[in-house]
Amino acid sequence: MYTYRCIVTKRDTRAYLPRPIEGVVMRRILQAGRIAGSSKDSQPCRLVVLRDAQWRAEIATCGRFAKHLPSAAVGIAICLPPTGSDFDAGRAAQNMMLAAWNEGITSCPISMHDQPCVTGKLGLPEGWRVCVVVALGYQDPSVPLGAGRKRPPLEEYVHEERW
Amino acid sequence: MYTYRCIVTKRDTRAYLPRPIEGVVMRRILQAGRIAGSSKDSQPCRLVVLRDAQWRAEIATCGRFAKHLPSAAVGIAICLPPTGSDFDAGRAAQNMMLAAWNEGITSCPISMHDQPCVTGKLGLPEGWRVCVVVALGYQDPSVPLGAGRKRPPLEEYVHEERW
């Protein structure tokens, strides 16, 4: 898909086909995260890929809105060290979600509200946290993508020179 | 450009040609930010576009590593309300930087270390902050893109099921 089309058609959705993601495609998605730029080239993020559905159901108990994690094809936990920034995690996440959407795979980031729960289960090193878990799966074509809440018009979204 | 190629060739660079960004291209970049997904569809970000070079030189005094902001073609300040997350700002920033790179425009996010300085100059509403200013300009082909610091191998970047 062309880049601009991929960017503007990407929606965060939670209805997935029961179809696994092929190894070569998964590798492309992970590489997209790995190559993402970061503040001072610090490369803070590390990933934990959650493939087992039962394991994902257990991880889902650590978030308040995580019901779609078990029904996804896979989850990717984006983990940050104490000094890592959510901004850099957002860049890596968007790279992966666009690389996925480019292959017809939709996605939705999930907050893990109970950090001791998720960091304990995943066995993260002391001080690390899970910024989000990204749920990924092939888009179910029977469920419309939806437009989401209306965006503010460009003239309201953008200020010129000053607020 | 195809999406995956755009993602994996994108580098954060600071050497720009003295060439302005056409209006239609700029609009595409801004739309890419506007369409970005966000937590609970809250759409927290707003942008301030910095076109005037002298004005950018003044804004650059609010960051410690902002020397390349005046020499860019344009800067985009990504602004967040008190409840806005840096993760969502990172998603919008990556969307814009990829939409730009798709047109041969390189970019680099700049931290604004002195927030009272930058929010005062830009006249942001009470409680808002500038997450980053993204510098954008056509890539100077005489300066090699560079590989950046070596990334950890995929096997080290990614854990399976548990850390």
In a domain, B151, yes or no: no
Domain that holds residue A34: 3-138
User: Which pLDDT belongs to residue A149?
Assistant: 86
Residue A17 belongs to domain with CATH number: 3.40.109.10
In a domain, B158, yes or no: no
Q: B21-63, pLDDT tens digit by residue?
A: 999 999 999 999 999 999 999 999 999 999 999 999 999 999 9
Which value does ipTM take for this structure?
Answer: 0.97
| Paired sense of beta strands A158-160 and B46-50, if any | parallel
| Paired sense of beta strands A158-160 and B74-80, if any | unpaired
Contact call for residues A79 and A129 (beta carbons, < 8 A): yes
pLDDT band at B126 (very low <50, low <70, confident <90, very high): very high
In a domain, B39, yes or no: yes
Local structure of A83: helix, strand or coil: coil
pTM of the model: 0.98
Contact call for residues B115 and B82 (beta carbons, < 8 A): no
Residues of B in contact with A124 (CB under 8 A): 163
In a domain, A116, yes or no: yes
Structural domains counted in chain A: 1
In a domain, A152, yes or no: no
Instruction: Tell whether A124 lies on the interface with B, counting CB pairs under 8 A.
Output: yes
Instruction: Tell whether B150 lies on the interface with A, counting CB pairs under 8 A.
Output: no
User: Which pLDDT belongs to residue A75?
Assistant: 98
In a domain, A38, yes or no: yes
Using the beta-carbon criterion (under 8 Å), do B98 and A7 form an inter-chain contact? yes
pLDDT band at A125 (very low <50, low <70, confident <90, very high): very high
Instruction: Tell whether A152 lies on the interface with B, counting CB pairs under 8 A.
Output: yes
Please name which of B153, B161, B128, B8 lies closest in space to residue A124, comparing C-alpha atoms. Answer: B161
In a domain, A31, yes or no: yes
Residues B3, B74: Cα–Cα separation, whole Å: 24
In a domain, A158, yes or no: no
What is the pLDDT averaged over residues A52-80?
Answer: 98
For residue B146, pLDDT over 90 is answered with: no
Residues A135, A108: Cα–Cα separation, whole Å: 5
User: Which pLDDT belongs to residue A146?
Assistant: 72
